[in-house]
């Protein structure tokens, strides 16, 4: 974990093979913030019979814009079910879900592992995986990482935000290259600076990663 007053930016990019194309501070622990909503949403679908109210909660939590919705989702499915998803995504000990979602931790590498496992269909059945990706794609929080990418790519992303934390992780699909996972985690930066940094990093990575 970081000490008080420190700032850090973690970057992970890869294809679905998990071979790093860009890796910086990838095992640094960050407060998970809204990112915990993604494995929690997977856990909800795995439990089967997703009712309308739970589906609506997933829709509010998954973009990461609502920390309260993410906390409610974790409480609804249970931290143990979320931990099972993390284990099946082969996350490391650097990522953990806590009883209090605000205490959950994640690393950039593990965020990438979750996205890869979801895209490969290792976490849930194809229909549910497609629905989760659609929810990640069709929300209104498009600043940050999506803003740094070309308009003709498809960005399915989840945002993590709280005091001093701004994360953005995405599965990016494009006709010109295989699916790409990009995870940008920042802690200890001013909110506006973090959002600008995330957008700039996304643009840089897209322009420099192998095609």
> 123-161 b/e with 16+ CB inside 10 Å = b?
bbeeebbebbbebbeebebeebbbbbbeeebebbbbbbb
Predicted TM-score (pTM) of the model is 0.92
Closest of 12, 179, 156 to residue 94, by C-alpha? 12
The domains located in the chain, with CATH, are 8-208 (3.40.710.10)
Closest of 178, 122, 123 to residue 154, by C-alpha? 178
Structure tokens at 211: 């095609």
**What are the Cα distances from residue 17, in Å, to 21, 89, 106, 140, 193?**
11, 13, 20, 29, 32
Q: Which helix (H) or strand (E) holds 116?
A: helix 108-119
pLDDT tens digits, one per residue of 75-117: 999 999 999 999 999 999 999 998 876 789 999 999 999 999 9
Those residues whose C-beta lies under 8 Å from the C-beta of residue 137, and which sit 6 or more positions away, are 154, 155, 156, 157
Largest separation between any pair of C-alpha atoms in the chain: 44
Instruction: Give the chain's radius of gyration (CA, Å).
Output: 15
Mean of per-residue pLDDT scores for the chain: 90
Cβ distance 35 to 167 under 8 Å? yes
pLDDT tens digits, one per residue of 134-144: 999 988 777 88
Position with higher pLDDT, 95 vs 66: 95
Residue 163 above 70 pLDDT?
Answer: yes
Q: What is the pLDDT of residue 48?
A: 79
């Amino acid at each position: 974990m970081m000490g008080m007053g420190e700032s850090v930016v973690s970057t992970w990019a890869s294809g679905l093979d998990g071979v790093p194309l860009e890796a910086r501070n990838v095992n640094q622990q960050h407060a998970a913030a809204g990112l915990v909503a993604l494995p929690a949403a997977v856990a909800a679908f795995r439990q089967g019979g997703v009712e309308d109210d739970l589906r609506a909660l997933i829709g509010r939590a998954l973009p990461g814009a609502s920390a309260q919705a993410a906390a409610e989702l974790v409480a609804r499915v249970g931290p143990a079910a979320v931990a099972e998803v993390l284990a099946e995504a082969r996350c490391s000990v650097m990522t953990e879900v806590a009883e209090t979602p605000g205490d959950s931790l994640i690393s950039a590498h593990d965020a990438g592992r979750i996205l890869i496992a979801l895209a490969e269909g290792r976490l849930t059945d194809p229909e549910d995986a497609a629905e989760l990706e659609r929810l990640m794609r069709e929300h209104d929080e498009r600043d940050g990482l999506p803003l740094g990418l070309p308009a003709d790519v498809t960005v399915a992303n989840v945002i993590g935000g709280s005091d001093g934390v701004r994360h953005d992780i995405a599965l990016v699909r494009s006709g010109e290259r295989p699916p790409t996972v990009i995870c940008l985690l920042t802690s200890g930066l001013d909110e506006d600076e973090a959002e600008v940094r995330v957008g700039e990093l996304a643009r840089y990575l897209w322009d420099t990663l192998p095609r």
